[in-house]
Structure 1
């Protein structure tokens, strides 16, 4: 069985030229470390074109037992985010890497699977979820599940204007003890029912959210633990402000709230705090 909550979190330090972003980032990292949460910083490459480069989980993820997966990205700008220095960094921090599963050759064929953006994992039950899109290829996802022994759950989702949801993590998050889903954006009734049933079967508290809450990054809530085993529910202020009272009450059962100002992260990258905290497992 895989670990449910990681020992540490890999983060990418913003480019120094983005002054407002790095100021905001520094306050977040200081706040997390003050609670005993282990943060490993990877220096970002210079001259990155992508605005999503803080989301290292899109190109690399750790699955525990020394297994690391590297993913194919959907654009040249995003492919340039990959940084081989991460392996040396993790080694220096005491994390062993026994096996690297590399799917990046799929880029040559035009197939993409953008890591923890495309794939949402239920580690306890070894279930993997994907919302199929141009960034989240179905056949490549099935290959991932076969290689790493996850049961696949496949569906499609879209916004009210008909545009497909590119990343599964935009409408779904699964933590140790709760799940958040915008099932209203899964338009096929059979797929929507199948998704809800699978999430309920896990036994976690299940929180349903609206498309408007998706736009406010509510699935970017992150459950983390510190070096003492204390549990925290991490989110941005915009996420907190968009939650209903009953949703806050449910989330409050699962850890102390840590709420950070993430306005620049959300404005520049169109993602929030959960996406920049990349779980690293020993």
Structure 2
């Protein structure tokens, strides 16, 4: 094949051998034609093989925008009503290496909020920031650590936005550092007769917000002390977990509480989407 040519195109053959003597007798052309046909056929088959391999590779990889990715995105958007709460928010969550210095963590669920909309679940500025993707449903649960010293609310906001809208929101959160702004903290879910009964807006110590781009979901978590103390200097989980952080939330490991629990709930969500054995409740 010539570079850029179509399958079957062949370079002209140029010979610098001794000239043949003139002979009027007819000559058989078959032996000269057949090798060329064979070469063209081989190039054609090779071309088909390369194209087929490329197509097969794209199926296996599942590039964004293809049918499989779209199906997974759509499936994730319906999990709020098709998956048991214990699967989305397990009664106990193990956080191996999730604490400061790689210490293990164990969280126990102490309350689950009724599934609802987002009208009263966020401060006004955060609600405005999330508005471009809408709110289909909000699920929340509150956990405490093994010592019942800390409480953490983790939430799953199931959005109405499509993949493009989620990607745009994710870029905005990353580019503008919205996840670190103290005026964009999520609200906790305080349940009566639990260690989180006094976990209100003033008790928020650390938080994390993650906008997924391969699912219409925003995952967040907010942590605080179980004794209901007010926090004057809340700090995002990203900053509280940074080396050398000296704020009270950082020293107590509350950034690790929020980030560690949110990450594991997100992993469970992804596993549920990809599981072929998922069964509706």
TM-score range, shorter chain: under 0.3
**Which has the higher relative contact order, 1 or 2, with Cα contacts under 8 A spaced 6 or more apart?**
1
Q: Which is helix-richer, 1 or 2?
A: 2
TM-score by length of 1: 0.26
TM-score by length of 2: 0.26
Which structure has the greater CA radius of gyration? 2
